[in-house]
Structure 1
Amino acid sequence: MHGTPAQAYPGDPSGTNPITVFADLGAWHAYALPRPDDPLGGFTGPLHLAQEYPWWLSDGLTRLHLTEQDRPLDPTVLQLTALPGLLRQRLDLGTGLTLTLELRYAGNRTALLHARLANAGPTHRTLGAAWTGTLLRPAAGPQHDAPRLTAAEHGIEVRFARVRQTWDYLTDGTERFTVRHAQPVRVVLDAGGDAHRTELAEPVRLAPGRARSLHWTESYTFTEADRTRAAAESEAALRAPNAVAAAGAARWAGYLARATDGVPAERRRTAVKCVQTLVTNWRSPAGRIRHDAVTPSLSNKWFSGVWAWDTWKQAVGTAVFAPALAADQIRAVFDHQVPAGSAERPQDAGMVPDCVFYNDPSTGGGNWNERNSKPPLAAWAVWEVYRRTGDRAFLRELLPKLTAYQAWWYRTRDHHGEGLCQYGATLDPANGTPEDCRQAAAWESGMDNAPRFDAALGTTVVPNRDAAGTLLGWSLTQRSVDLNAYLAADHRHLALIAAELGDHPAADRLRAGADRIDAAIRGTMYDPAGGWFHDTDLATVTRLTARGRGIEGVIPLWSGTATPAQARTVRRLLLDPAEFGTPMPFPTVARSCASFDPVGYWRGLAWLDQTYFAVEGLRRYGWHQDARRTVERLLTAAQGLTGTGPVRENYQPLTGEGRNSTNFSWSAALLLPLLREPRE
């Protein structure tokens, strides 16, 4: 978590920020540590979210400078470290003086900063203290003029103009970044208005062997109501900073105790990294995000929204250490489920949108997507949260939503009414052509550009209509094996929920439904000659084996659909180095496939969610030693995973090179349960 930006835009051309940042409690602003040769005395940042897009507000907005008899005291580094729940730096000021800086969060809008000056020397010291910082302005466009630095009653404030740049920068003109000091200060702005010097009104006097602490808060808010809450949050933190520190330490101790329970000692550091990744990507309610949620990555320009199947997977991992947060992120998605009787989308009652953001289209948001949904893993996520909490009220709250979601799949995605579904597309203005619909359907799978969906192979869509002929949406011209295995698992998890709530007839019906899906998958999607599960052609029920083997063929092991004999052949191919048993397990497309590309997004890269499903499938059928060896190979091969590197979105399967987004949530979430040694 080290680095200092040179410009306001935080990323490379792909949108990835090379500096890993720290946030907590769902805050919408974040920080990093300087490198030893960077300017010292403060923390890098803040990085702030312009509703949907991360930007550096400064390379260090509140660097502390100390003087003695008007001579600057130049610090040298003793320690720069990121710890669970805080950033810390210890600096040597010479002749027995040390400065310790700590940054932690007091709430979902406010960071608390602590500077401790200690005098280990033999003489009294009298020091002047001042904080300085300069805005990093975006290079061009209306966003260049958006931030405006002002002096405030207890420090400084940055106000923002209204800017509606759909794909780059979104503000309403009500946002504020506020620095509030516990001690009286004097603020001087430079002539250009981009830099400040905030001086402590009284000198710091230190007797030999004594220490003195300075505290300030930094709050980022979106609305007037936000500011009122953040002001109270800030004042409480400045009144009782030690209580904030103690509460944070206790909360994080709980996170880590739960996250490392059952994890071998040599894997615990990686488990802690997973927790830190998920907590930094936690966003509290703001805009159209109504519950606490976890976004895919604060390190990527495009990933500060809430995706459905990301959430289902993230909730399973987050439930390990913070089950209340896991429950809320599920709610954040279901907040936007299409209700029964919807005037705008009556055919989609029960549907869960692909992704939701701070803005929907009515307020200029371009990232919001209702062209498609995402794979139906919600009941699994709800059940996994319940296993950690025992909260039946949560089950009662979610059961009708889950039931409506499952019904939507069969109403709008089962083209032949046969009980097997296809990925597809909704009636949405952006789905205006068959190619638009094919693209949306591929997105609905979550495996966006997987070879099995290539238009060049003849993949297209067909319309789905109700008994009266009303158009409901579109289906791909293939039944997908992963979708139907997920739906079999969905039936089983809903049966568990129904039984837990005492509805045993419903549980029986759901289990019978799962059995019917299992039988259909085993009978039509398994290829005895090749020993793998495949999608089937919608018109002829022909298995699409010519497209090669994809990792989706392992999902029937995770769902418990495969027979033991089928599972054995899948295992053989899964572990074969010429197929899926690559140094970094498992590529999304087999090495034997003509379309295999080791750096292709869903065309050969290894994704940890698919590795999780495969490993759990091996465990389910009793191959615990294979599962254990796979996890060991993963930890050895994945670049930086057990060291100082970030958790990556995906990995090159032949070299283990980390690819695409850094600090990726579902990778961290599903790695957590893999790190445990299961009790067989």
Structure 2
Amino acid sequence: MIHLSRRQFAASSLVPLGAALLPAAPAHAQETAPEASHHGSGDSFRDGLSDVLDLHGLPEAAEPPGDNPLNVFADLGAWHAYGLPSAADHAYLGGFSGPLYVAEEYPWYLSRAFSRFGLVDERSARAVDLSGDRAPRLEARPGLLTQSYVTDGLCVTVELRYATNRSALVRATVQNRGNSVRELRAHWTGSLLRHTSEPVRSAPRLQATDDGVAVRFAEVRSFKDFLTTAQTRFEVAHAGSVRTTVHGDEYRTTAHRPTRLAPGATATFTWTESYTFTDAERRTDHAAVREALAHPDRVADRADRRWQRYLTRSFDGVAPDRCRTAAKAVQTLVTNWRSPAGALRKDGITPSLTNTSFAGGFWAWDSWKEAAATAIFDPQLAVSTIESMFDHQIQADSPDRPQDAGMVPDALFYNDIRQGGLNWNERNSKPPLAAWAVWQVYERGGGRAFLHRMYPKLRSYHAWWYRDRDHDHNGLAEYGATVDPANDSTAQRRLAAAWESGMDNAPRFDDTQVRTNTDRAGRTIGYSLAQQSVDLNCFLYAEKRFLARMATELGWPDEAKDLNHEADALRDRIRAHTYDPATGYFYDCEPDGSGPLTAAGKGIEGAVPLWTGVASAREAAGARAALTDPAQFGTFMPLPTVARNNPKFDPTGYWRGLVWLDQAYFAIRGLSDYGYDRDARAIGEQLLQHADGLLGDGPIHENYHPLTGAGKNSANFSWSAAVVLEMLRKHPSAAPLPRLRDGGQRA
């Protein structure tokens, strides 16, 4: 079949959570008396957590590679991010690399380091050379980037935190460690990093402002790679009185007055760096910027307290020698957090800010997994991550697709398809893990009101699967495609259906056919693959159980009883049609009831019946044998998506042999819940130890090579980070369906 992964497809062929804005205050026009260096609520919670992820390096071009080799840091859902120079980058010391900004849907670099702080000794007219410190401290710490230099009788420290979902707060602290008075004038320099071709090349231009410098953008609506309007703006605003000169693509901002430092005295210079999409955003953010410049300690204290809370919650149950990895997982999720913008109405989490295709949108089943783990440290962000997808749930009065009422689209971006967006995708949905995610978030602090809001939406989504994706109405659903202009051929419908599975090019879909689904009046309402997928129906079984729990919690026992009866029947149906006793494993099955599709070979989807509690004890034992066999799923980096002895196994194939941590985690939790704790622990430890860079300072990858452990495809991948955080905890999230008396027991 045609393979096009979600990184390649085009769908058509402001207040941050956890950080309310400070009250408005008059702008602070100039540096006043020197203030002491900030230590906030105490930085000890960051001890031992420097550079959990290597953020050093400078961009070489305005357009980053598809999989950017540089890691970045963002916070509060900001749409721009930064890294650190290395000690050898002498010309860029005093500045933070980037920023990387999202041009609505695609990441670009504005500069190698846009704001480089420097000092000139007024008496000698000589610049203070930061590279004179041969061992500067250039560190990324959770929620904070820092640079510290001891040179020329001075200690210079530069710190970057985020103040709002549109602005970073930067402070440079200068201490005189000499024996004589110093008179120093601060300055900031930077330049644009231009693209090589039009119209992007000419889009940004520098402009001096009263309090710093701005980058204005021309309107460019290139929906495949770069999107700006005349309102898009990047701005640097200084607390002190400054003047700026611009020469072409370079600028220099200079403090109006020098700063006089007695021996031992300290001065602090404060500025913000803001990236906004609209004039309305900029006006809203300006009030917060003024207050942040006037009271930077408040911003720093608040940020530090929030990050201390994140880490305290995330480290619960984590072995001390694994806390750095847990912190990296949290940092990855937070960096990939995007706040409301364009068509995205609520905060959510993108798959990866450092991947061209994944930086600017929310995907459905990514969001479910991300939310479940994010609830460990920020339940309200988790709530928003789920609701950001359901904001666009198809309604019965939809002018475009009323037949899809209840469906949650596959992917949402800044621009929807009606605005010309190419990445917004309603051609298909994604596997139904939403009810599981809602329950996880609820149990981790999401609140009863959240459960009450979500229950009817989840029921509607659940019903859609059986109305639009059960071709023969036998109670076993299929992955499929919607009625959509882009689904205009059998090949395109099959492609969208494979996307709907989440396993884009899995071998089980190589030879499948597509069937048309109709309503009672004979109208086409969608399409289904000619096979009933074991994972899909197990997820639907789990949804029924979770919906039953919700109904019980909300005081609707009759609904809970009906849902549990439905689940019992579905469990028996899945066992009867998808398990093959001869091979001891679960497979997709023929829709005509003729049995499992064993010819496609074993895939990791066959472990889902363990995670959801569908398998009997005997069936689980058969699956366990395959999952632990070195010739099948027990590879060096264990639990590949396709068994090693499958003729279609490809250790570099996207869903044809690579290890995806979410699928591996489902299998591990399933093994544990069926009593195979020793296997589960051993496999989990193999995953953590053999994944390249995972326990060091490397990024968490989208997937891994099963025979070498090398990280593959996107770095800084959110759902992988979510799974890592779960795996590190001694008290991990309970398997979706532990032994219950409501019919969920494993027999």
Please indicate, yes or no, whether the TM-score normalized by the shorter chain is above 0.5.
Answer: yes
Number of corresponding residues: 671
Instruction: List runs of 5+ in structure 2 lacking aligned partners.
Output: 1-54, 735-747
The aligned counterpart of 1:260 is 315
3-state SS of 2:236 partner? strand
Q: 2:410 aligned with 1:410, yes or no?
A: no
Measure how far apart 1:92 and its partner are.
2.1
The aligned counterpart of 1:572 is 625
The aligned counterpart of 1:421 is 477
User: Is the contact between residue 577 and residue 593 of structure 2 (CA under 8 Å) also seen in structure 1?
Assistant: no
Q: 2:580 aligned with 1:522, yes or no?
A: no
Q: 2:429 aligned with 1:373, yes or no?
A: yes
C-alpha distance in 2 between matches for 1:267 and 1:588: 26
* Matched AA of 2:669: E
Q: 2:445 aligned with 1:389, yes or no?
A: yes
Correspondence list, 1:65-464, <5 A: 65-68=118-121, 69-75=124-130, 76=133, 77-94=135-152, 96-190=153-247, 192=248, 194-303=249-358, 304-389=360-445, 391-454=447-510, 457=511, 459-464=512-517
The aligned counterpart of 2:28 is none
C-alpha distance in 2 between matches for 1:619 and 1:160: 54
Measure how far apart 1:229 and its partner are.
1.2
* Matched AA of 2:564: R
The aligned counterpart of 1:5 is 59
Moved over 3 A (4+): none
User: Is the contact between residue 67 and residue 128 of structure 1 (CA under 8 Å) also seen in structure 2?
Assistant: yes
Q: 2:667 aligned with 1:610, yes or no?
A: no
Aligned with residue 491 of structure 1, among 544, 551, 569 = 544
* Matched AA of 2:210: E
* CA 1:353–1:390: 2 relative to 1, 3 Å: closer
The aligned counterpart of 1:503 is 556
User: Is the contact between residue 64 and residue 109 of structure 2 (CA under 8 Å) also seen in structure 1?
Assistant: yes
C-alpha distance in 2 between matches for 1:418 and 1:467: 16
C-alpha distance in 1 between matches for 2:594 and 2:385: 38
* Matched AA of 1:80: L
C-alpha distance in 2 between matches for 1:390 and 1:310: 18
3-state SS of 1:142 partner? coil
Q: 2:70 aligned with 1:19, yes or no?
A: yes
C-alpha distance in 2 between matches for 1:415 and 1:541: 16
Measure how far apart 1:107 and its partner are.
0.5
* Matched AA of 1:35: S
Deviations 1:74-124 (A, max 9, x none): 112420111010100101222x31110000000100000000001121111
Give me the CA root mean square deviation: 1.0
C-alpha distance in 2 between matches for 1:279 and 1:102: 18
Measure how far apart 1:540 and its partner are.
4.6
* Matched AA of 1:248: A
C-alpha distance in 1 between matches for 2:307 and 2:678: 33
User: Is the contact between residue 187 and residue 197 of structure 1 (CA under 8 Å) also seen in structure 2?
Assistant: yes
Measure how far apart 1:324 and its partner are.
0.3
Measure how far apart 1:390 and its partner are.
5.7
C-alpha distance in 1 between matches for 2:125 and 2:663: 61
C-alpha distance in 1 between matches for 2:594 and 2:389: 34
C-alpha distance in 2 between matches for 1:361 and 1:471: 22
Q: After alignment, is 644-653 or 617-626 more displaced?
A: 617-626
User: Is the contact between residue 62 and residue 110 of structure 2 (CA under 8 Å) also seen in structure 1?
Assistant: yes
Aligned with residue 650 of structure 2, among 573, 579, 597 = 597
User: Is the contact between residue 369 and residue 437 of structure 2 (CA under 8 Å) also seen in structure 1?
Assistant: yes
Deviations 1:621-641 (A, max 9, x none): 122221111111111100000
Q: 2:605 aligned with 1:552, yes or no?
A: yes
Deviations 1:134-165 (A, max 9, x none): 00111112111111110111000111111011
C-alpha distance in 1 between matches for 2:95 and 2:399: 53
* Matched AA of 1:228: R
Aligned with residue 85 of structure 2, among 16, 34, 44 = 34
* Matched AA of 1:119: N
C-alpha distance in 1 between matches for 2:283 and 2:526: 45
C-alpha distance in 2 between matches for 1:379 and 1:642: 31
Measure how far apart 1:666 and its partner are.
0.2
* Matched AA of 2:69: P
* Matched AA of 2:625: R
C-alpha distance in 2 between matches for 1:256 and 1:463: 50
Measure how far apart 1:463 and its partner are.
0.5
- What percent identity do the matched residue pairs reach? 55
* Matched AA of 1:79: R
C-alpha distance in 1 between matches for 2:560 and 2:577: 26
